[in-house]
Amino acid sequence: MRTDSDEVVIEPYPSPNHGVLSSFYTPRKLLLPLRERLLQAVPRSSAPRSLVIFITREEQLLRAITDPRGDLTRRLKQVAQQRGLELVPFEGTKRTMTEQIQLFGRARVIIGPHGAALANMLFARTRMNERTRLRASAAD
């Protein structure tokens, strides 16, 4: 498996028994194996999950955040610091795929506008995710 790619495309999964919108949902049975394979291919960081990753979309033409004074970033950073976490602004075009996987592996919370960068939640090693993985493995 190559991990120096610039992007991962998650194909829509046909779901003819549901409505049009749900046909674009990627089901759990594909997401979990994909997640496991990608995480296995990238060295796991031993750093704590102490990041609040703020997806900015600052270089995107659509659905960017217009906040000229930086009030939102400042407020989120304040909350993160009060909770002992670090706010990291994220603009996906500036990082390699491997860097993204490692960064989101340290996420405690991901926050941002609707957009493809939210799919990086796939790499978040939250306790919730770990529990889900364990239960899925047990069910298999």
Partner 1 sequence: MIEFPVRSDAHRYFEHMAGALGMPYYEVPEISAAYETAYEINSTEQLDAAAATLNLAIDQQDEATANLSGAATTTIE
> Which residues of the shown chain bind partner 1 in the complex (CB under 8 A)?
21-22, 24-28, 31-32, 35, 52, 62-67, 71-72, 75-76, 78-80, 83, 85, 108-114, 118-119, 121-122, 124, 126-133, 135
Cβ closest to partner 1, residue 2 vs residue 127: 127
Closest approach, Cβ 37 to partner 1, in A, equals 15
Closest approach, Cβ 85 to partner 1, in A, equals 7
Helix orientation angle between 127-139 and 28-41, rounded to the nearest 10 degrees: 110
What is the residue whose two structure tokens read 């957009």?
115
Residue 3 in tokens: 């991990």
Closest approach, Cβ 7 to partner 1, in A, equals 16
Closest approach, Cβ 94 to partner 1, in A, equals 20
User: Is the sign of the CA dihedral 106, 107, 113, 117 positive or negative?
Assistant: positive
User: Residues with Cβ < 8 Å from 108, sequence gap 6 or more?
Assistant: 49, 50, 51, 52, 85, 126
Cβ closest to partner 1, residue 52 vs residue 97: 52
Cβ closest to partner 1, residue 34 vs residue 41: 34
Pairwise CA distance, residues 111 & 65, whole Å? 12
Pairwise CA distance, residues 49 & 51, whole Å? 6
Cβ closest to partner 1, residue 2 vs residue 17: 17
| CB atoms inside a 10 Å sphere around CB 38 | 17
Closest approach, Cβ 54 to partner 1, in A, equals 9
Cβ closest to partner 1, residue 51 vs residue 97: 51
Amino acid in the structure at residue 63: R
